[in-house]
């Protein structure tokens, strides 16, 4: 049984993820451009390579984090989908179990009614009636077993 609010929540999450991804790409591009400008000599406010030394680890960390999050987000999505699928499967199994129990109760009630009807047959008066009564008693024994 799916929650009716689930699709709206998923849309909100996808918009948030798009914004996070966009922000991460923009920050990475800014640091890469700063690194490239410093490497080519167009950006050299300190007149030495200290800016390059400071930017390089930041760019590497941001890029590694971004690509690691892509993989982990995909893994999280796969696991969430698996949980939803297993929940639906469990719900279906529970429904089938309840339906089988209801059918069983219905059949047991029918058997009880048949037994009551067969036991209410009056005693035989003739030989032909005695044969019919014996067959009905056999039917009751079968229902009892």
pLDDT band (50, 70, 90) for residue 1: very low
Residue 12 domain-assigned (yes or no): yes
Residue 57 domain-assigned (yes or no): yes
Q: What is the mean pLDDT of residues 49-73?
A: 79
Residues 6+ apart with CB under 8 A from 31: 55, 58, 59, 62
pLDDT above 80: residue 39: no
Residue 119 domain-assigned (yes or no): no
* Euclidean distance between CA atoms 97 and 118, whole angstroms: 31
Q: What is the mean pLDDT of residues 130-144?
A: 73
pLDDT at 14: 77
Residue 115 domain-assigned (yes or no): no
> Which range in 51-65, 66-80, 112-126 is most confidently predicted, on average pLDDT?
66-80
Residue 20 domain-assigned (yes or no): yes
- Angle, nearest 10°, between helix axes 6-40 and 50-119? 160
Specify the range with the lowest mean pLDDT, choosing from 64-68, 79-83, 129-133: 129-133
* Euclidean distance between CA atoms 83 and 7, whole angstroms: 16
pLDDT at 20: 79
* Residue 40 lies in domain: 6-109
Residue 61 domain-assigned (yes or no): yes
State how many domains the chain has: 1
Residue 133 domain-assigned (yes or no): no
Q: What is the mean pLDDT of residues 8-37?
A: 75
pLDDT above 80: residue 110: yes
pLDDT band (50, 70, 90) for residue 84: very high
Q: What is the mean pLDDT of residues 42-53?
A: 67
Structure letter (DSSP) for residue 122:
P
Residues 6+ apart with CB under 8 A from 62: 24, 27, 28, 31
Residue 118 domain-assigned (yes or no): no
pLDDT above 60: residue 113: yes
Nearest to 64, CA basis, from 14, 15, 24: 24
- The larger pLDDT score, comparing residue 109 to residue 59, is at 109
């Amino acid at each position: 049984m799916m929650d009716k609010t689930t699709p709206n929540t998923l849309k909100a999450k996808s918009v948030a993820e798009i914004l996070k991804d966009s922000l991460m790409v923009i920050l990475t591009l800014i640091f890469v451009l700063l690194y490239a400008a410093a490497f080519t000599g167009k950006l050299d406010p300190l007149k030495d390579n200290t800016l390059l030394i400071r930017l390089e680890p930041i760019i590497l960390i941001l890029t590694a984090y971004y690509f690691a999050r892509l993989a982990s987000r995909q893994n999280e999505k796969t696991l969430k989908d698996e949980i939803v699928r297993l929940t639906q499967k469990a719900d279906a199994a529970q429904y089938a179990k309840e339906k089988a129990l209801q059918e069983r109760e219905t059949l047991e009630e029918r058997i009880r009614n048949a037994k009551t009807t067969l036991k209410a047959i009056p005693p035989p008066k003739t030989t032909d009636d005695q044969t019919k009564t014996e067959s009905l008693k056999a039917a009751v024994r079968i229902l009892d077993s």
